[in-house]
Amino acid sequence: MNMRNELTKRIFAACMTVFLMSFALIMFAMNNYLARRNIGELKDKCLYVASVINLNGWDFLHATRDGSGTRTTVISSDGTVLFDSMLKPEQMENHLQREEVQEALQNGEGDSARYSQSLLRETANYAIRLRDGNVVRVSMTPDTVFVLIYHMLNHIVIIILLALIISFVLASRFSHKIMKPINQLDVENPDDRDIYEEMKPFIRRLISQNQQIHRQMETLKEEHKNQDLIRREFTANVSHELKTPLTSISGFAEIIRDGIAQEKDIPHFADNIYKEAQRLMTLVNDILKLSRMEDIDQQPEEQHTRINLLSVCEEVGKRLAINAEQQQVTLTCEGEDITIIGLPMTVEEIIYNVCDNAIKYNRPNGWVHVTVKKEEEMAVVRIKDNGIGIPFPDQERIFERFYRVNKSHSKEVGGTGLGLSIVKHGMMLHDGKITLESVPDKGTEIALHFVPAL
């Protein structure tokens, strides 16, 4: 839709509406004026005729049969037509019921306007009662606004055409002038100083939206830079993590291939190759898991179902019992039977990874305590230990991929550096949240907040 064309049409329509309404009102006023003038002229003529008849009788009326537009009629008090300037009296019906005759007999004078059956046209009538009791009536075809329009039709058509042209030209110019400040508006940098007062709220909103878009663009740029940085870091970390076991495997295999290794060392080298291969497979599997969790468009391989958190924690405790015993760490689990809706394998892996870290980064004769309970309408699994703790500057980054607080210790205990990142994305899949409290050399507590099932 073209705004200027629409504005031109509306201004043109308004101009023509005003013109036509004004024309109609003028015609109405002229019609009323002509009606009053007709009655005035008839009254004057009728008064003149009545005065002459009262003085000299109405015989002189025979001389008025001249075919003029005025008709004179003399009517007796019983309604009989005694004289008519256009028709023969004996051919005319009784006029006692005529409105103007009734008023003249009762009040001395009267008027009316009606369609004449004898003349077959609209007539205006004025009647006056004479001294002898008869009534004289003067009739004429009145001048109406329609007659006036008919006689002035050519002039009226020209005036209407001129009004149409002038209205269209004015509407076009006015719309151009109205649209000029809007067309000159710089959408990128709007200014409300040279704009209509009514548009200033819109301009302010436009300025606000432009600022918001600018902020969003800056935010997107910053996020893009961060994502690019994360991607590069991820690529570098993956390359490093893959290179380490592959280097070991390649080195041991090369020693065996070249016959450098002694017969008794071959089983040892084969065992190292096996361990590095297992580490490599674990790393690849963790990367694939994380990739699936991050891809929100990919449907999970497992279906959502009802999960008893306490049962999951107990099962994880059984799986980690040997690890805990080897690390000389006591692992306990207790709590309430609380059910959530989720992905069973993912929930189990979340709890497993947190508990596994609590065991790995503990100390001899340490403990890991797992509790399940409902807190503030949420199902909460708390994993608390008295291990080595996490330095405060590192606490915000431990859920990043491949981030390790103590790389030397991490290398000793194994792991891919993706466990807590999997925990983070797994909780996001379940609309949950993670809270962390840790004091170096005193221990760590990680709370997993799930939405309970109804």
300 pLDDT more than 70: no
For residues 84 and 75, give the distance between their C-alpha atoms in angstroms, rounded to a whole number.
9
Distances (CA, A) of 237 to 281, 372, 403, 428: 16, 35, 9, 23
Nearest CA to 443 out of 354, 362, 333 is that of: 362
Whether the CB-CB separation of 75 and 81 falls below 8 Å is answered with: yes
- 70, 45 in Cβ contact below 8 A? yes
Tell me which CATH code domain 3-150 carries: 3.30.450.20
pLDDT given at position 193: 58
Strand order in the sheet with 135-140: 81-84, 70-75, 135-140, 121-129, 109-116
Cα 103 to Cα 129: distance, rounded to the nearest angstrom: 9
What residues are paired with 137 via a beta bridge? 73, 127
pLDDT tens-digit map of 206-240: 777 878 888 888 888 888 887 777 677 666 666 66
Residue 435 and residue 364 in contact, taking contact as beta carbons nearer than 8 Å:
no
What pLDDT was estimated at residue 122? 78
CA 54, CA 111: separation in Å to the nearest integer? 20
Burial class of residue 175 (count of CB atoms within 10 Å of its CB; 0-12, 13-18, 19+):
buried
Question: Can you tell me the mean pLDDT for 251-279?
Answer: 77
Please count the residues of the chain: 454
Q: Where are the domains of the chain?
A: 3-150, 303-450
Q: Considering only the top CATH level, what class is 303-450?
A: alpha beta
- Percent of the chain scoring above 70 in pLDDT: 82
- What is the spatial distance between Cα 85 and Cα 409, in angstroms, rounded to a whole number? 136
Q: Return the closest-CA partner of residue 130 out of 75, 83, 183, 168.
A: 75
Per-residue pLDDT band for 84 (boundaries 50, 70, 90) equals confident
Secondary structure of residue 319 in the 3-state scheme? helix
pTM of the model: 0.48
Q: For residue 363, report the phi and psi dihedrals to the nearest 5 degrees.
A: -135, 160
| pLDDT digit string, tens, across residues 25-77 | 888 888 788 778 888 888 888 998 889 888 888 777 776 555 556 888 899 99
CB of 431 within 8 A of CB of 447?
Answer: no
Please tell me the distance from the alpha carbon of residue 126 to that of residue 107, in angstroms, as a whole number: 13
